[in-house]
Amino acid sequence: MKETLVLNMGPQHPATHGVLRLVLELEGEVILNLEPVIGYLHTGFEKEMETRTYHQNIVFPPRIEYLATFIEEQAYVLAVEKLLGITAPKRAEVIRLILAELSRIASHLVYLGTAAIDLNVTSLLMYCFRDREEILDIFEMVSGQRMMHGYFRIGGLQWDLPQGFAERVQRFLDDFPRRLDEYETLLTDNLIWRKRTEGVAVLSAEDAIRYGCTGPVLRGSGVSYDVRKAFPYGGYADYEFDVPVGSNGDAFDRYRVRMDEMRQSRRIILQALRGLPEGPILVDDRKVALPPRRELVRSMEAVIHQFKLVSEGIHPPAGEVYASVESPRGEKGYYIVSDGSNRPVRVRVRSASFNNLQALPVMLRRGTVADVVVAIASIDIVLGDVDR
């Protein structure tokens, strides 16, 4: 009989990207069995969202998944709008799209930095965070907060864009490809990086679908499924972009897919900036959106609407909807059940990380301890998203 070593990796471990615990059964350094244990960050967001109004719940999505904040808000807001049967004005939609794509870049940069530091490329983390900081500065400029924005509203946005927004984004995007190339020189052209990621954590397309994987994990395996293309939402149908797809389904392919996605995001933002329409940023429906502030001093009616909307909240019709967006980690969906009251009966957060993480044991069949780190980084989990 062979003796095996059972190793508990985490929940406090530098490379598990949060409080993830892995129970590894090892023979030497080769993994025989692996079981992820989750739930250390379970905060009961779904339950809490049942106790608050639709408007108040806007604050939860970016806290569930704290790397791609605007995409989260977008997902929730779109779900509620679908429930109400309204769409945001065109300008609001485009602004949301720009911010969502910036979020995607910001999130992928965190992936890149952490994936690199998991393989001890310490410098890249700082470079990535430097770029991410610039995006967060733009976010702060727009919403007043760097991460937990609370900027999207049901039916539109809180404010219009500030002065100088387009120039600032443009400046960032102008410089961005050069930096990406620099990072690619550090990693893609690096023999050790390729050796560490190519053929590691392989997931076949069939397995990826059977485990419900989405996002770069699924696309890295060669399945071209992107919610932005498959079920266009929020105006994505109007823009030209490609969906990068890998072929081997290994960690390197996922890395490639994300790198290319950042370039595609840039392409989308540039198109959107050019075609940014003028117009209102909030629907003109007093049952859904607050009246403009300048009306509050002049019109008694506006004040009454304000009081009514704030103190009672929005009353969507009874029914249930599912709306999803393409988050940097995969399909992020909100399934909202309404009974016609001002609070949802049930908010289900379909998180991509949860499903993707489930495929980890498959990826690491007969892998080594050193591969675990690569695999986790390549799934790019956010534990807040997994445990909710």
For the bound state, the minimum distance from the C-beta of residue 145 to other proteins, rounded and expressed in Å, comes to 5
Q: Is beta strand 330-338 parallel, antiparallel or unpaired with respect to 346-350?
A: antiparallel
User: Can you tell me whether residue 380 is helix, strand or coil?
Assistant: coil
Between 137 and 284, whose beta carbon lies closer to other proteins? 137
Q: Which helix (H) or strand (E) holds 145?
A: none
Tokens 């919403």 sit on residue: 143
Please state the closest distance from residue 80 (CB atom) to other proteins, in A.
11
Tell me the backbone φ, ψ of residue 35, rounded to 5 degrees: -135, 115
CB of 28 to other proteins, least distance (A): 8
| Helices 251-274 & 165-187 angle (0-180, nearest 10) | 160
Residue whose CB is less far from other proteins, 25 or 270? 25
> Token digits for 318?
């009874």
Nearest CB to other proteins, comparing residues 275 and 310: 310
Nearer CB in complex with other proteins: 247/341: 341
- At closest approach, how far in Å is the CB of 27 from other proteins? 12
Which is nearest to 106 in space by CA: 117, 98, 116, 118? 98
Closest CB 363 distance from other proteins, rounded Å: 13
Closer to other proteins by Cβ: residue 103 or 143: 143
Q: Which is nearer to other proteins, 277 or 319 (CB)?
A: 319
Tokens encoding 261: 């996605």
Distance separating alpha carbons of residues 78 and 233, to the nearest angstrom: 8
Query: Shortest distance, CB of residue 303 to other proteins, whole angstroms?
Result: 6
Q: Which two tokens stand for residue 58?
A: 């806007």
Tell me the C-alpha distance between 102 and 70, whole Å: 8
